[in-house]
Amino acid sequence: MADLSNKVAVVTGARRGIGRAIAELLAQRGADVLIGDCTDDPGHDTAAQIAAATGRRAMAQCVNVADSTSAKEFIDYAVAQFGRVDILVNNAGITRDNLILRISDADWDSVLDVNLKGAFNCCKAVARQMMKQRYGRIVNITSVSGLAGVAGQTNYASSKAGLVGFTKSLAKELGARNITVNAVAPGLVTTALTDVLAQEYRDQMIKMTPLGRAAVPEDIARAVAFFCSDDAAFITGQVLSVDGGMVMQ
């Protein structure tokens, strides 16, 4: 089991769902965690529950990752509270699905701003700290949509495909400072975000998955924890599909 004792992890979009599962597992492995969300409550109850269950320090702070100032303040807060940031997981994401003829400019911009620019803002904010430490683990949450495309998701798929190129480019920039940058690409995951999808659509997605089921958030969290650990110390610029084989279809 990957040991993350005394590491400090920052996870965006972690009040619930995949982000919460990631924060919980990193804390179980020994990390202190700061979770962020853009709602009025960024997850104070979630942080308290993680702290009580793991014995690690866990805090929550509001952040709008699409805003560079907010992202910088979020990372600065983590450094002020914990003294360093060893792990950044860019999990915050939104969907505004529609056929291209029906996607508004606002829905295009908001998805790209949160999903892609948000990762850029957070990585830019944390890069100097990690370079000074000469250590860092960055994991970006992309999607099978960004690898294979999904009809009705041109905005979402573009943002997630952009994350793939961003991950590989940043890995080349930061590798000399012992900072790895990788991505995890989930398929269909059972969360509040996907619960609103039509059952017919979810059934179709599962039918396209060789393992015959949707993922649970913990499936994604385990892949992230691997990339954050010393077991992955010589792995960078990679995209790991955690999709039950869906991307092969």
- Look at residues 37, 56, 60, 38 and name the one whose alpha carbon lies nearest to residue 47: 60
Looking at 29-67, list the stretches that DSSP marks H as alpha helix, in order from N- to C-terminal side. 44-54
Query: Has 201 been annotated as catalytic?
Result: no
CB 51 within 8 Å of CB 57: yes
Cα–Cα distance for residue pair 4/29, rounded to 1 Å: 5
Question: Residue 162 has which token pair?
Answer: 């952009």
Of 77, 135, 156, 201, the active-site residue reads 156
Counted residue by residue, the chain has a size of 249
Task: State the DSSP H helix or E strand holding residue 37, giving kind and residue range, or none if neither.
Answer: strand 32-37
**DSSP 8-state secondary structure symbol assigned to residue 234:** T
CB 146 within 8 Å of CB 157: yes
- Secondary-structure percent of the chain, ordered helix, strand, coil, rounded to 5: 50, 15, 30
Query: Can you give 166-219 as a three-state secondary structure string?
Result: HHHHHHHHHHHHCEEEEEEEECCECCHHHHCCCHHHHHHHHHCCCCCCCECHHH
The residues annotated with a catalytic role in the active site are 156
